[in-house]
Amino acid sequence: MMIIAILLNFIFTPKKITPKIVEILNENINGSVEIESVELTFFSSFPRFGLKVKEGSIFPNSLFNSKDTLANFSEARVSFNVYKYLKNDNIDIYEITLKEPNINIQVDSLGNYNFDILKTSAINEEDTDTVSSFNINNINLRKFNIEKAHVLYQDGISKVNYEAEGFNTTIKARKNNNELYLNINSTNELVSLYKVPEKRFKIRNIGVNSEVTFNKVDTLLTISKSDLSINDIHFATSGTIKPEPEKKQVIVNLAATLQSNTLKNFIDLIPSTILNKKSIETQGGVNLTVNTNGIYGNGKYPKIGSVLTINKGALKYKEFPGTIDNLDVELQGDFFMDNSQPSNVEVKTLNIQGTGLQLNANGIGNNILHPNAVFSMALNTNIDFTKLYQNFPIDKEITSQGNILADLKTSFKLKELKAQDYNNVNVEGKVVVKDLNISAPTKGAFIKSKNLTAIFNKNEDDVHPLSGSLQLKKTEMEIKEALEFSSEKLNALVNFEKKPKNETVLNVNASINDLSYKSKKDTTFLLVRKAKIDLGLTPKKDRSLSAISSNFSIDSVAVGQGKYWVGIQQGNYSFILNQNPNKKWNVNGNVGFNNLYASFSESHLPIQMPATKLSLNNDNVTLNNAVVNYGESNATITGAVKNLEGFKNGKTVSANLKLSSTNINANELMAMFSGSNNVETEKEEKIVTNDSVYSQKQAFKIPKNLQFSFITDIDKIEFAGLHLEDVHGGLELMNGHLQLKKLQLKTLAANVEGNIDYEAKSNQQANLDFNLNLRQVKMNEIQNLMPVLDTLFPIAKSFVGKADFSIKASSQLDKHLNFNLKTFKGIAALKAKNIMVLDGPAFRDLAQTFMFKNKKEVTPIESLDLEMEFEGDKLIIYPALLEIDRYKLAVGGEQYLDLSYKYHISVLKSPVPFKTGVDISGKDFDDYDIDLTTAKYKYYFTDKERLLKKADSTIIKKKEFIRSELNLLEN
């Protein structure tokens, strides 16, 4: 013992033996192994020597297409016979235990598997030559344990994945010369089958206890005795499995039979969530067999055949009066998963008779795994939900009452049904539902119906081979977080009509009273008061596309999604819908109505359209003198709007329209499109409310996908701070801009021409560029047309008379469309003749200083030419010539946003034979100072070139630039 302890602790330490063992393992497999540490044990595995392996990983052959880890484990223990190895180079392993391993088994689409890692020399008894000095003549394993494993098997052939949680297995082995005997005991907490992880089929508590014999000569694996258990339901399994590695396939012949033939055991297979199995009494026999025969691998699958029969079954609950007096079932199926032969299912008998339940059914499905599957079935049933609820242990959270009667026969080809080809679809019979009320309050779901009757007729008429009718009265349905539906009354007549070229048209004539639908997922809703519908559906045939022709007559309807809705009164519709290759429906037809109301924002202002007719062509709409009212705005529109779907998907929506109106409140429209109905206003501003209509200015970001062009004839427009009348010209929405082009308008104050460009980067700020020419405008009303000039050009209010005024400027607007004066930049010019200047304190003192003869309240000015520039917080007035009384004056200066000013007047001609100047400054026109100074502008207005050169050339050039840029006033 002392020697062993010394060997273990000083000679065969983990640090020394781990690299050696990893080297030996990697020499004897086609994959690779990584191990953190290997510890040689004796005392913990007494009386045998053993190995304790920590944190090991096994990787597949480098030739396998996936390099994912084959297996990893936190700990493995191996106990073995050292004596046999030292004597004969034989490895006799008593036991291997893997703890909490992750095992990842993969088979690719060609049948190659990642666990093919053993070299032939490692298990060939005659081959004793290896790369290292570690020779192995024979390996014998007696017991193999796996504890709490996670196993993932990915089958690249079937594309089905198998995943096991809590996998435990013990394999005991013994052998003779030609045979290996295995005893396998395995349990699984959970097994999942899936193609995509989100859709799993789960089976819990699977166990296997098998005795297996492997013949080394013919490589045949024989299962002589096996017990397969699923939730304590046991199946006896037997058969053979023959691997053919060279062909990458396995020949399977297995049979599984339900060990107990009682109905009680079969019912135990049904989950408790579907059937309450507490205190249940049963009688009757069950026979269930599943046979698997054939080849698995290389794209081949074995045939799976199953038979289920229940004879003279019955069941009842001890504490409830209801009984199932008779249960007879006979069904069988043969499945060829590789479609090498047709897969068929037949329900020969399905007969259930009991309290509140009578059901007889049979049916056949031929070639069910192929698109050409054919089905035929018959059903006769009478279900009394009231009796079922009263006599059976139905979940008390569910209440049910009512009755369903059904007597149906049908046959069809699945391919034709999917292609909407109803020529060979046969349905006949009747379904009647009365006083149905099924409710699950805790799950937020219920369905109620006073009456539902559906009748299907198979006719001898070759033109109308199939017809039917549907009646629905007082029906309601709700599914939590999904939908709500109700209908007071719905009647429909349906028939299939054969057309030339072997087409079948589905015709529907329906009437609806008080129908409502609401989706809780996408907030879509539909409300119909009264409607009549004639509909014809031409299904897809070969390469042709589906089409629907329809005529609607609706008393009133509302449809919407979220904050968007449309309501129509007295509507008539005629549509033809054609399905395009992208499976979307193109609409062609006409819509007429007496009144339409719609909202496309959270604003309380609805759009209203009186009697109008619209034409629809695919995703385009044509309007002919369509009247639209919104708040204070109204318009009559003629033209076309193309690609309406762009409002949803962001693609370009274009329009060419003629628009006439008596009034357009652009501020109001912008508030609607911005979705704002809670804009702050000044205290003195009043919000006029009339039937939830609000009028207020609001910046609006124009979607860049709108490409609208209007020819306008508008009596009045309110836009930002501008009040415009008798407006003609072009209006465009392009690339996020709103543009008024070649604008012409008339007002009592002036005639206006020009262009306006509006753009908003967000609903909080916008930019405005404009170029306006005001012809013969009343000077004291300029600020009424452009309120911003009340601050920037206040001296205009001091003049009486008419002038020509031109301005070209840009400015930022705040979210209420008010000018941000600090960003106001531009140029302007004014030309006037025979105007008057009003008498005021400053002018009175100035007149006294110059000794004007005219002492009236107004003083005439023969002419006035001004060039101006708006820059930041000030207005610059460049030197201008002014003729007043006996004087010729040059006037210029600066006006500031706070209404303060600095002006200079140079006297160029006067009764006094010398030139002088006057500086005027002040905080406003009532608070000022007048100072005599030199004449600063005496060289600007002279015909003498010698004197003109003394003037500031930059000012002269600026004045010329302004006149040129504004194309100004030479007449």
Is the bond preceding residue 47 a cis peptide, omega within 30 degrees?
Answer: yes
Neighbours of 962 (CB within 10 A): 21
- Confirm if 785 and 774 have CB atoms less than 8 A apart: yes
What is the predicted pLDDT for the residue at 240?
92
Dist CA 817 CA 827 (whole Å):
21
Q: Which of 119-123, 155-159, 266-270 is predicted with the least confidence, judged by mean pLDDT?
A: 119-123
Runs of H (alpha helix) within 770-834: 782-785, 789-792
More confident residue, 878 or 778: 878
Write down the pLDDT at residue 485: 92
pLDDT value of position 688:
34
Quote the pLDDT of residue 853: 54
CA distances from 561 to 342, 524, 566 (A): 47, 4, 9
Most confident range (mean pLDDT) of 8-22, 522-536, 683-697 is 522-536
To which H or E segment does residue 337 belong? none
Query: Count of residues for the chain?
Result: 971
Percent of all residues in the chain with a pLDDT value above 90, rounded to a whole number: 22
**232 C-beta neighbours (distance < 10 Å), count:** 10
**248 neighbors 110 (Cβ within 8 angstroms):** yes
8 Å CB contact between 295 and 322: no
Q: Is the pLDDT of residue 244 over 50?
A: yes
Instruction: Tell whether the model's pLDDT for residue 422 goes beyond 80.
Output: no
Please state the φ and ψ torsions of residue 849, each to the nearest 5 degrees.
Answer: -65, -40
Confidence of residue 500 (pLDDT cuts 50, 70, 90): low
Stretch 740-749: mean pLDDT, rounded? 78
pLDDT at 475: 92
475 is written with which tokens?
């029906």
The pLDDT value given to residue 871:
84
Task: Provide the mean pLDDT of the chain.
Answer: 80
785 pLDDT more than 60: yes
Across 445-462, b (16+ Cβ under 10 Å) vs e yields bbbbbbebbbbbbbeeee
pLDDT at 108: 82
Scan for tokens 């009697």, then name that residue: 611
pLDDT band per the 50, 70, 90 thresholds, residue 182: confident
Distance of alpha carbon 266 from alpha carbon 309, whole angstroms: 11
Segments in 154-272 forming alpha helices (H): 263-267
Q: CB under 8 Å to 277, separation ≥6 — which residues?
A: 267, 268, 270
From residue 957, how far is each of 92, 305, 880, 938 by CA, in Å?
109, 101, 14, 17
Band (pLDDT 50/70/90 cuts) for residue 896 is: confident
Nearest to 64 by CA among 25, 106, 28: 106
Average pLDDT over every residue of 7-34 = 73
Q: What is the mean pLDDT of residues 432-439?
A: 93
**In sequence order, what are the residues at sequence separation of 6 or more whose Cβ sits closer than 8 angstroms to the Cβ of residue 720?**
666, 667, 697, 758, 768, 813, 817, 819
pLDDT above 60 (res 401):
yes
Q: Which helix (H) or strand (E) segment is 242 a member of?
A: strand 233-244
The DSSP-derived string for 735-766 is: TTEEEEEEEEEE-SS-EEEEEEEEEEEETTEE
Mean pLDDT of 121-140: 46
What are the tens digits of pLDDT across the range 309-335?
998 899 998 888 999 999 999 999 999
Residue 129: pLDDT band with limits 50, 70, 90: very low
Task: Judge contact between 885 and 852, C-beta under 8 A.
Answer: yes
How many whole angstroms separate alpha carbon 505 and alpha carbon 543? Answer: 16
User: Mean per-residue pLDDT for 503-530?
Assistant: 86
Res 263 pLDDT > 90? no
Of the two residues 537 and 935, the one the predictor is more confident about is: 935
Each residue's pLDDT tens digit, 271-311: 666 677 778 888 888 888 999 999 987 778 899 999 999 98
The encoded tokens of residue 226 equal 């096996």
Say if residues 598 and 568 touch (Cβ distance below 8 Å).
no
Mean pLDDT over 832-840 rounds to 72
- The token duo for 525 is 């809703």
- The predicted-structure confidence for 53-103, as pLDDT tens digits, reads as follows 889 898 888 777 777 888 898 888 888 766 555 556 566 778 888 889 999
SS (H, E, C) 352-382: EEECCEEEEEEEEEECCCCCCCEEEEEEEEE
Q: Could you give the angle at the alpha carbon of 56 between the alpha carbons of 33 and 40, nearest 5°?
A: 100
Distance of CA 88 to the CA centre of its chain: 71
pLDDT at 358: 96
Under the banding of pLDDT at 50, 70 and 90, the label for residue 810 is very high
**pLDDT grade for 453, boundaries at 50, 70 and 90:** very high
Range with the largest mean pLDDT of 407-411, 794-798, 918-922 = 407-411
User: Do 206 and 227 meet the contact criterion of CB atoms below 8 Å apart?
Assistant: no
Least confident of 10-19, 390-399, 824-833, 942-951: 10-19
Nearest to 348 by CA among 391, 310, 389, 394: 310
Rounded to whole angstroms, how far apart are CA atoms 187 and 203? Answer: 12
> 970 burial class (0-12, 13-18, 19+ CB within 10 angstroms)?
exposed
φ, ψ at 962 (rounded to 5°): -60, -45
**pTM listed for this prediction:** 0.60
Task: Look up residue 442 and give its DSSP letter.
Answer: G
Q: Are strands 653-661 and 706-719 parallel, antiparallel or unpaired?
A: parallel
pLDDT of residue 93: 76
First to last CA, the chain: 126
What are 337's two structure tokens?
Answer: 């998963």
By the 8 A CB rule, do 224 and 179 touch?
no
What does the alpha-carbon distance between residue 93 and residue 453 come to, in Å, rounded to a whole number? 74
Would you say 701 and 736 are in contact if contact means Cβ atoms under 8 Å apart? Answer: yes
Token pair in block for residue 528: 């119909």
Q: What is the 3-state secondary structure (H, E, C) of 661-679?
A: ECCEEHHHHHHHHCCCCCC
How far apart CA 757 and CA 652 sit, in angstroms, is: 20
DSSP for residue 651: -
Q: What's the pLDDT score for residue 473?
A: 92
